[in-house]
Every structure is written in C-alpha cells, then in structure tokens.
Amino acid sequence: MPIAFITGITGQDGSYLTELLLAKGYTVHGSVRRTSSLDRSRLHHLYTNPEIYSQRLFLHYADLDDVTNLRRLLLKVAPDEIYHLAGQSHVGLSFEIPESTCDDTAMGTLRILEILRDLPGKPHFFHAASSEIFGSPDSYPQNESTPFRPVSPYGCAKAFAANMVRVYRDSFGMHATNGIMYNHESPRRGENFVTQKVCQAAAAIKLGLQSKLRMGDTSAERDWGDARDFVHAMWLSMQRDVADDYIIATGITHKVQDIVEIAFDYVNLDWKNFIESDPRFMRPADPKMLVGDASHAQKALGWKPTITFQKMIQEMTQASLNQLSSKSRANKNPVQD
C-alpha cells in the first residue's frame, strides 16, 4: 500500500487530495500547524471516522520553518509520494506579510528539497506551483516554457520555489515535478478568495443576512478550474516515471463579473442592486491575461478538466446556501454552544 505525505493537508486541495488517495488505497500522512483553534473543518468527516483516522490517515504537527522536525517526520514516514501544497496562498495578503509569505512558500520548499536529497527512499515530489509565477506575461496562453514574470510577493516566492524544483531535478536527478496550477475553486475554497466571497455573499443576501457586497476590479480575468479536477492531475503526474513540469488549467478565462452574474442568477437576484465598488480590494499590481495551455498535461497525463465554470459557481453558491441556512437555524437554537 503506497504511502503519501501531504503538506497543506487542511487546505482546499489537501483535503480533496486526501480523499482521492484514500480511495486509491494509500495511507496518507499530513502535516498540520499547531493553532489554539482546532480548525480542520475540511478534514472533519475523515478525522472523526474511526475507520480512517489513525488507521490510514495520520496528522502530524509540523511547520515549514521547522526543518529538524520535518526531517524527522519524513524519515519516519518514509513516503512514496510527497505532495507539497502548503504555503501562505493569498496573493493580496502577500503584500501585507511579504517576509513570512516568502519564508513559507520559497524557503519552505527549499527546506523540503534539501531533506529529500538525504532521504534513503527516493520519493516522487509534487510542488504546487502557481500561474502567479507568470504574473504579467508577455504571451498567452502560457505553457511550460513561458518565462516567469511575477508581480506580487506571492508570485516571486512561487517562482523561486518552481525554479528550485527544476534545479534539484537537473542537478541531483530528483523526481521533482512542478504543477503550475491556475486558479482552482470549490465549495471548500477559503473565504477570502473572490469566488467564495461572491458565492457566499449571494447566498447571504438571498437569506437576508447581508445587504451589500463590496468588490475590487470586477473586470479582472482569470482561468478558473475546479480543485477536484486539479488534485487528480497532481496524482497523475506522480505516477509517471519521469518528473516534469505541467500547466494545470482549463484554458478558458472568465471575468470576476461572470462569477457575480452566475451566483446572483442562481439565487434569482439582480446583482446590480447589491454590488458596490471598493478600491481597498484592488491589488497594487494586478496580473494580466493569465490563461493556461494544458496540452502537455493532456498528452502526457491524459488529464482534462471535467467540471464547467458555471456548474462550479452554482455548486459553490448552493453549498453556501446550505451552510448559511443550517448556521442561521442553529443560531436560533439556545442550546447551541
């Protein structure tokens, strides 16, 4: 039974990947940071299942800036595959906390690569790179040989990590792969990402819990895919004999405005009555025309996206409706703690 190790297991991708790997018969180990609030909602259903947790799913305390602990953990777990998904993943926030973003995302990746050099087994290594490494690209769609041109601290850190993965692959022959992932969303997307923010607001407004939604630039365009499709690509890339870089994208762009219209349409509201423009949500430098050409992944991995943008946004809005209505019911119940 293969053993996988996941950093960032409590995140959107980590939780979907865990489900995928468990379904394929893996034993899954994940690293989690210690916090005073036990917030592992995305893993809750697995964590509370006694047939899974401590049987085939194990969580370990670790932090990307604690190299001795990581080393000890990886030596003990001796994984066949490592999926490195952890990082401060919010682009806008990386302008507020650039140093810690770089420390996690850039240095954290390097620390794991260094440990891998010394591991006796030669695990396959997946690095979750990002379309933000292209930032303001000279050409589109982008492919695996498009030059990097990051425009945020987050993009700079991811570009560093992706370059390092290439260096370690070329220099030490490591099976280290970059998945250059374009935006990918799902009902488990973090609440401060624009897709989730819009879907939750549409649901909250529908339920009378919110009156307005303040937005930055709604003409910004991105290539948005579904996280469940993307974690499948991660796994496929680890099954190949050779390590490589892959663009993981849908190849189709949508405007933020499209999210607004689909989500509000879904709850039968006219978005024009609820959206207000707020410059605080504008980024200091916004990437232009990020759209990925995933033909290499399609050819080499047989991967292609299966969930459409519209279906994904509708599903996210529905999930928000379900969540908010059960929450507001619970709030009316005095015995709820």
Partner 1 sequence: MTKKALITGVTGQDGSYLTELLVEKGYEVHGIIRRASTFNTGRLDPLYASPQDTNKQLHLHYGDLSDGSGLSRLIAEIQPDEVYNLGAQSHVRVSFDAPEYTADVDGTGTIRLLEAIRQAGIQPRFYQASSSEMYGKVLEIPQTETTPFYPRSPYACAKVFSYWAVVNYRESYGMHASNGILFNHESPRRGETFVTRKITRAVAHIKAGLQKKLYLGNIDAKRDWGYAKEYVEAMWLMLQQPTSDDYVVATNETHSVREFLEIAFGHVGLNYEDFVEIDPRYYRPAEVDILIGDYTKAKEKLGWEPKVRFADLTRLMVEADVKLLHDHQAGNIKVRS
> Cβ closer to partner 1: 87 or 225?
87
d(CA 330, CA 171): 56
Interface positions with partner 1 (CB under 8 A):
67, 95, 98-99, 102-103, 106-107, 110-111, 113-114, 147-153, 155-157, 159-160, 163-164, 167, 170-172, 284-285
Contacts of 328 (CB under 8 A, 6+ apart): 207, 209
132 is catalytic: yes
31 is catalytic: no
Q: Write down the catalytic residue from 16, 83, 154, 266.
A: 154
> Cβ closer to partner 1: 67 or 307?
67
> Cβ closer to partner 1: 50 or 284?
284
99 is catalytic: no
Question: How many residues can be counted in the chain?
Answer: 337
Instruction: Give min distance, CB of 145 to partner 1, in A.
Output: 9
Residue 28: CB atoms within 10 Å: 26
> Cβ closer to partner 1: 97 or 207?
97
List, in sequence order, every beta strand (DSSP E) within the chain: 3-7, 27-32, 57-61, 81-84, 124-130, 176-181, 184-185, 213-215, 221-222, 225-226, 245-248, 254-255, 275-277
Whole-angstrom CA distances from 165 to 91, 143, 184 are 21, 17, 22
User: Which positions are annotated as active-site residues?
Assistant: 130, 132, 154
